[in-house]
Amino acid sequence: MNNRPNPTWLHYLHISKNKTSDLILEDPGPIETMIGNLSGNSFDLLAHNAPVVYLNDYRSNSYVFMSKTIKSLCGHDAEAFIRGGIGHAVSLFHKDDLRLFNEQIFPDRLKFLKSIPASEHKNYLFSYNFRIKTKAGHYISILQKNTFIQSDLRGNPLMSLGMIYDISAYADPAKTVHTIDKFSTDAPCSKIQTLEQTNYYLDDRYKQFSNREREVLLWMADGLTSKEIADKLSLSEHTVINHRRNMQEKTNTPNAISLVAYSIKKNLI
């Protein structure tokens, strides 16, 4: 009976370093050949998992470009988006996600864009997750990242360049996370700084505090530390911290002080 534990990743790195083996099925050849083979249609990682790249024009509600990888993502080929324009993409949206983007996320995004010079729009990256319906009839969660490469003098976006990824295995369909990042153009290697991260919920019930969270919040309002609250409620300090973080996420507040202030303002306590 083999009682040896499975090797950890770090242990595997150690035993694999500089190891030669006669069990390799075939010689992959020189590095240049290996890299060249990656671009072949037979290499499934790139053929089926490469991000979708698109360029759309709001002035004509059209797609100027849609990469062929869209077909492996949702089953619709790139030509369907070129022919149907943004209207085709809208028809694939989950209706609840479309309502959320239309009524909350886009107005917030547009307000931000109008607060900065139009010439700087291309220096900002916008990301959010939503669901679309595939040609097979089921929904997948995708992450869209885009920047506005052209806007008018009033700050209205005109052309958007973006990328789309399938994140179905990781996304929470009940929550949409919208982020705004800024490219640092003065650095040799462009860095990204996150300016805003906002959580949107499809169901207002997800915003509501649980009874235990309210208990924690009340003690926070009295000025108690997480450890003191844990002692009061016979909980671990880690559990109290998790409750606090959950409440901050639901209210989009950055810290405990902001959470208490927000809760008092909204008559939650």
User: Residue 60 is part of a domain; what is its CATH number?
Assistant: 3.30.450.20
Task: Tell me the backbone φ, ψ of residue 218, rounded to 5 degrees.
Answer: -65, -40
In a domain, 8, yes or no: no
Domain-terminating residue out of 162, 186, 204: 204
In a domain, 232, yes or no: yes
How far apart CA 8 and CA 120 sit, in angstroms, is 47
State whether 145 and 247 are in the same domain.
Answer: no
State whether 68 and 124 are in the same domain.
Answer: yes
265 alpha-carbon distance from chain centroid: 30
| pLDDT tens per residue across span 113-129 | 999 999 999 999 999 99
The sign one gets for the Cα dihedral 157, 160, 162, 168 is positive
* Cα distances (angstroms) measured from residue 208 to each of 192, 211, 221, 254: 33, 9, 18, 18
Count the residues in the chain: 269
**Can you give the pLDDT at residue 180?**
97
**Can you give the pLDDT at residue 74?**
95
How far apart CA 54 and CA 236 sit, in angstroms, is 48
State whether 159 and 199 are in the same domain.
Answer: yes
**Can you give the pLDDT at residue 138?**
96
Task: Tell me the backbone φ, ψ of residue 23, rounded to 5 degrees.
Answer: -100, 0
Domain-terminating residue out of 162, 179, 204: 204
State whether 164 and 223 are in the same domain.
Answer: no
Q: Which residues of the chain have pLDDT under 50?
A: none
How far apart CA 77 and CA 69 sit, in angstroms, is 8
Residue located via tokens 């606090």 = 244
Domain boundaries, position 259: 208-265
**Can you give the pLDDT at residue 263?**
85
